A and B are shown apart, each in its own frame.
Chain A
C-alpha cells in the first residue's frame, strides 16, 4: 500500500500546488506508515529533485506523454490504473481545473470515496476526517470517509508545504495503460499570457470600476509584478470588457485564496467577497469610507487609487533597492 500523488506541471515546471500535494501526501504517509509514490508527466531532473525535496519516495514518470495534450479521461485512466498497480490507499490531487476534471472519475473507477476542497490535514486518520471549504468560504464542512480508501483534492494555497528531504527512486510508468480511447479530443489550447496563474498566486492585486478606464491598469500590473503577484478584477470590469473574463474573481468568476489580496476601487459586494474571502490578508483601498469591503479587510486606506497606488509602488521599490 502507498499514498499516490499526482504532481501537475505547467509548461514543464511543477506547479506550486504540486508541492502542496506532495507535502500533504508525505504527512499522510508518515501517519499511516506508508510510502509515497508520485505520478509525474515529465523527464526533468529538476522536477524529480523538487519532488524528493518535499517527500516523494518513488517517482513514477510518464515522460513520453505531454500533459498539455492528454485528454482528462485518459489522464484519469492512467492515474487510476497506476493506483491499482501500486495498491494506493489514498490518492492526493490538487483541486486545480485539471484536478477537478479528473477526481470524480478516478474515485468512481477505483471505488474510493471522494473528498474535495480540503483545507487542512486530516483531523482524524481512521476513519479519515477532513476539513473542507464550503459555502464559498463562508463556512467549512468536515467530511468523514466511510470507505477504507479515498481520493482527496486540496484547495490550492491553503495548506502550505514544507521541505522533507527524501531519497527517491525513479521508475518508468507502464505505458500500455495509456492507450485507452476517449470520445472527446482536444483540438487546441489557448493560453493566457499571464506569468502568474491566478489560483496559484500568493499575492493578488485586483481592481474595480474605481479605476475609471482600462488604460489605468498599468499601475495595477506594475504593482502586481513588483510583488510577484497576479492581477484580478471585479465583475463589472470584466463585463465591460476592460479586463479578460479569466481575471474576474467572485461568485460567478473564479475563487482565489491568496496570502495577500489587495482590492483597489472595489466596493466589496457580497458576490465579490464569495470569490476572495478565503484570502489570508485583505487590503482595501477605496475613496468611499463606507465601502462595505472595509468590514472584511485587515488593512484599509481611504484614498484615491491614483495617489495611493503609485506611493505603494515607490515604497516597495525603495525596500527592494535597499
Chain B
C-alpha cells in the first residue's frame, strides 16, 4: 500500500494570534508550530495501516524551511519519507496543484489530508486534490477500513454519518474518529534516532502556480466586554438579561 499524508504546519492551538505589517502578516513572535491536528489523526491512521498490512508512508508538505522540524517529527512518529515542496504561495488551490502534481508522478493508493487546517480553516485542499486528479473524496472521514480492493469510509454529514464504498486511489479528508485522540502516536526515542537517517527531500518547482484569490488582510475580533456576574440565588435575573438585553431567548 502506497500512502501519502499531506501535512500542514500550523500555529499551536494555544498560540496567541496577532498580526504585523498593517495586519497583512501573522506575527510569528512566540508562536510554536505543530502538525495540523486533523493531519495528525491521518498520520496515525496511516501508521496503523502500515502495522496491519504493510505500507510505505510519505509525508508531504508545501511550504518553507521552517516546516522541516515538523516533518522530522512526522518521520519520528513513523513516516518513511518526507517531501517538502518549496513554495511561499499557500492558498488552497496552489497547494492542491503542487500536491496533485507530486501524486501524479508517484502513484499512491491512499491520499490522506486533514479535513481542514486550524489556521486558515479553508477546508479546500482535499476537495481540490480530488477534483484535479478526478478521484473520489471521503470528506470529514471518521472511520476507514480496507476490504480487499475496496475502501470503506465513514464520513460525517450534518446530523449523522454516511458509509461509503470506493475504489483506490481516494482522497481521505480525516478528523477525530479516524483514530481516537488517545491513540495518537508520539515520537519514541528510537523513532527520533531513526528519523535522522530517513530522507527529507526538498522539491523546488520550476513553475510557480498562480492564485485565484488573494489574502488582503486580517482582523482580530472585537474585544469581549467584561463578563456580567449574576448571583446564583438570582437566576431569574439571568433569564431577564438573556431576553431583554442580549435578546437571545
Q: State the CA gap A321–B224 with chains docked (Å).
A: 34
- A113 contacts B140, C-beta separation under 8 Å: no
* Interface assignment of B17: CB less than 8 Å from any CB of chain A: yes
Identify which of A15, A194, A270 gathers the most chain B CB atoms within 10 Å of its CB: A270
Closest Cβ of chain A to B41, distance in Å, is 8
Q: Among A73, A115, A192, A284, which residue has its beta carbon within 8 angstroms of that of B137?
A: A73
* Interface assignment of A32: CB less than 8 Å from any CB of chain B: no
Instruction: Please provide the chain B residues from 13 to 67 with a CB less than 8 Å away from any CB of chain A in the complex.
Output: 13-14, 17, 19, 37-38, 41
* Interface assignment of B203: CB less than 8 Å from any CB of chain A: no
- Of the 9-residue stretches B69-77, B102-110, B159-167, B188-196, which lies at the interface with chain A? B159-167
- A142 contacts B216, C-beta separation under 8 Å: yes
- Of the 9-residue stretches A83-91, A170-178, A180-188, which lies at the interface with chain B? A180-188
- B248 contacts A259, C-beta separation under 8 Å: yes
Q: Return chain A residues, CB-CB under 8 Å to B246.
A: 260, 281, 298-299
- Interface size of B in residues (CB-CB distance below 8 Å): 84
Contact with B along A283-318 (1 / 0, CB 8 A): 110000000001111111111100110011001100
Q: Return chain A residues, CB-CB under 8 Å to B176.
A: 245, 248, 252-253
* Interface assignment of A49: CB less than 8 Å from any CB of chain B: no
Q: State the CA gap A151–B210 with chains docked (Å).
A: 18
* Interface assignment of B214: CB less than 8 Å from any CB of chain A: yes
- A299 contacts B228, C-beta separation under 8 Å: yes
- Interface size of A in residues (CB-CB distance below 8 Å): 97
**Which residue on chain B has the smallest CB distance to residue A128?**
B213
- B242 contacts A97, C-beta separation under 8 Å: no
Closest Cβ of chain B to A180, distance in Å, is 11
Q: Among A73, A103, A190, A260, which residue has its beta carbon within 8 angstroms of that of B136?
A: A73
Given contacts A115-B213, A134-B120, A316-B239, contact A186 B160 (CB under 8 A): no
Identify which of A135, A202, A308 gathers the most chain B CB atoms within 10 Å of its CB: A135
- B221 contacts A108, C-beta separation under 8 Å: no
Closest Cβ of chain A to B162, distance in Å, is 5
> How many A-B contacts are there with CB distance less than 8 Å?
262
- B216 contacts A129, C-beta separation under 8 Å: yes
Closest Cβ of chain B to A148, distance in Å, is 10
Given contacts A187-B165, A251-B13, contact A98 B131 (CB under 8 A): no
Instruction: Please name the 10 residue pairs, one residue from A and one from B, whose CB atoms are nearest each other, closest first.
Output: A104-B127, A303-B232, A184-B136, A191-B160, A113-B212, A311-B235, A108-B131, A184-B166, A101-B139, A260-B248
Residues in A lying within 8 Å of B, measured CB to CB: 10, 15, 71-73, 95-98, 100-105, 107-109, 113-117, 129, 131-147, 150, 182-192, 194, 197-200, 202-203, 227, 235, 239, 245-246, 248, 251-253, 259-260, 270-271, 274, 277, 280-281, 283-284, 294-304, 307-308, 311-312, 315-316, 319
Residues in B lying within 8 Å of A, measured CB to CB: 11, 13-14, 17, 19, 37-38, 41, 92-93, 96, 115, 118-128, 130-132, 135-140, 142, 152, 155-167, 170, 175-177, 180-182, 210-221, 224-225, 227-232, 235-236, 238-239, 241-243, 246, 248-249
- A-B contacts, 20 of them at CB < 8 A, read A98-B157, A100-B115, A104-B128, A104-B131, A134-B119, A135-B120, A140-B218, A145-B213, A146-B214, A183-B167, A184-B166, A184-B167, A189-B160, A190-B160, A191-B159, A192-B159, A252-B41, A260-B248, A294-B229, A297-B227
Apart from A146-B214, A183-B167, A298-B224, 20 more pairs, CB < 8 Å: A97-B158, A100-B140, A104-B96, A104-B124, A114-B213, A134-B121, A142-B217, A142-B219, A150-B213, A184-B164, A184-B167, A191-B159, A194-B159, A251-B118, A294-B229, A299-B228, A300-B227, A301-B231, A301-B235, A301-B238
